Amino acid sequence: MATLFETAYNWEPYLNLGTRQFVKAKSVIYEQGSIGDGFYYLHKGLVRIVTATAKGKDRILNIVVPGQSLGVQIMDQRAHFTTAQAVKDSVLYFFPCDQFKELIAKHPELRVVFAQTVIHKMRILLEGINLNALTSEQQIAVLLLNIFDDFKNHEVPLTQQDLANSTGLTRITVYKILKQWKKEGIIEIQDRKFQILMPQLLRNLVKETTP
């Protein structure tokens, strides 16, 4: 996936209409294949959206940061096609489907917010597809750039394996690219946390279109 992270849509005024839930790090919020009966809004914490590809390998589609919602696709009353997993201890607000209908009746402006949310998810998925047209180096570059755009002050708990799972590459490939970049001084790694020293170089990597 590409834009791992999305901009928030304004759900805050309606939070009191949902039910608050606390989940522990690593626990599953909803699982691919299960039929849920509502969607969630992430208030605090961090949630990872993954999908099981054929071959069992998980693929990270999206990292949800506070202010965003997850599981909206359940509104069509079919099984979830992704799994949501808390990365940190998180606080969520849950909105059941049927209750949401009433909500919309009372607050028609929510319809727009909801539509935007869903469509934004579509954009994220599409970027995930477009990512595959790039070289592996470019894929990681796009990924890192997006991460640092969205996580400015947050801590980013992405391992090499996570980067691999976000792109469909192998950990070894990710490692090699990172190593190279470290040598070139583009990035810095300390305590297994990334820092981009020269983002412009990464951007150049991506921009170099058809020569």
Partner DNA sequence: AAACAACTGTAGCGTAATTAACGTATTTCA
Partner DNA sequence: TGAAATACGTTAATTACGCTACAGTTGTTT
The answer to whether residue 160 forms part of the interface with DNA (CB under 7 A) is yes
Stretch that binds a second copy, among 40-48, 112-120, 148-156, 170-178 (CB under 8 A): 112-120
| Beta carbons within 10 angstroms of residue 208's beta carbon | 10
CB of 70 to a second copy, least distance (A): 13
Stretch that binds DNA, among 29-37, 67-75, 186-194, 198-206 (CB under 7 A): 186-194
Helix (DSSP H) and strand (DSSP E) numbers for the chain: 6, 10
Q: In whole angstroms, what is the distance from residue 18 CA to residue 52 CA?
A: 29
CB of 113 to a second copy, least distance (A): 10
The answer to whether residue 88 forms part of the interface with a second copy (CB under 8 A) is no
The answer to whether 196 touches 189, Cβ cutoff 8 Å, is: no
Contacts (Cβ under 8 Å, ≥6 apart) of 102:
none
Interface with a second copy (CB under 8 A), residue from 1, 23, 65, 86 = 1
CB of 121 to a second copy, least distance (A): 6
The answer to whether residue 129 forms part of the interface with DNA (CB under 7 A) is no
What residues between 22 and 41 interact with a second copy by CB under 8 A? none
Exposure string over 4-35, b if 16+ CB within 10 A, otherwise e: bbbebbebeebeebbeeeebeeeeebbebeee
From a second copy, DNA, none, interface partner of 28 (C-beta below 5 to 8 A by class)? none
Classified as helix, coil or strand, 108 is coil
Count the residues in the chain.
211
The answer to whether residue 168 forms part of the interface with a second copy (CB under 8 A) is yes
The alpha carbon dihedral of 9, 126, 45, 85 has a sign of positive
From a second copy, DNA, none, interface partner of 123 (C-beta below 5 to 8 A by class)? a second copy
The answer to whether 204 touches 198, Cβ cutoff 8 Å, is: no
The answer to whether residue 101 forms part of the interface with DNA (CB under 7 A) is no
First to last CA, the chain: 25
Interface with a second copy (CB under 8 A), residue from 15, 25, 28, 129 = 129
Q: Kindly list the residues in this chain that would bind a second copy in the complex (CB under 8 A).
A: 1, 51, 53-57, 59, 61, 73, 75-76, 81-82, 104, 111, 115-116, 118-123, 125-126, 128-130, 132-134, 138, 168, 206, 209-210
Q: Kindly list the residues in this chain that would bind DNA in the complex (CB under 7 A).
A: 26, 135-137, 159-161, 168-173, 175-176, 178-179, 189, 191-192
